[in-house]
């Protein structure tokens, strides 16, 4: 499950031949289809119908991005909305 979610997030941030190859590998016809499926899957897995909505399954879902790299706002929105993941800008170049 985690590998498919990670690959789906990578697909959401890719384009051209890379995106087409990853979509084919994941068995999805389009990026919208893949994002929609991921959103439904993540929402179902992380909610157990309890009054407070506890998780059925817990997994780490996020990414760390070098602070000098800028991300498209649409990619950030897809990652946080559809994948319920967090993105953090960090200093990979000078922090040890």
Q: What pLDDT digit, counting tens, does each position of 23-34 carry?
A: 999 999 899 998
CB contact at 8 A, 95 and 89: no
Give the model confidence (pLDDT) of 37-64 as tens digits.
888 877 777 666 665 566 655 566 778 8
Fold of 2-90: Antithrombin; Chain I, domain 2 (3.30.497)
Q: With cut-offs at 50, 70 and 90, classify the pLDDT of residue 93.
A: confident
List the one residue out of 92, 86, 96 whose CA is nearest residue 69.
Answer: 92
pLDDT tens-place string over residues 1-13: 678 888 888 898 8
Enclosing H/E stretch for 35? helix 31-45
C-alpha angle 16/79/21, rounded to 5°?
25
């Amino acid at each position: 499950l985690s590998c498919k979610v990670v690959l789906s997030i990578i697909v959401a941030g890719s384009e051209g031949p890379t995106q087409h190859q990853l979509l084919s590998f994941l068995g999805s016809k389009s990026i919208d289809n893949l994002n929609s499926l991921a959103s439904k899957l993540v929402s179902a897995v992380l909610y157990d119908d309890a009054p407070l909505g506890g998780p059925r399954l817990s997994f780490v879902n996020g990414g760390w991005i070098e602070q000098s790299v800028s991300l498209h706002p649409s990619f950030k929105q897809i990652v946080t909305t559809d994948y319920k993941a967090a993105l953090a800008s960090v200093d990979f170049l000078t922090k040890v």
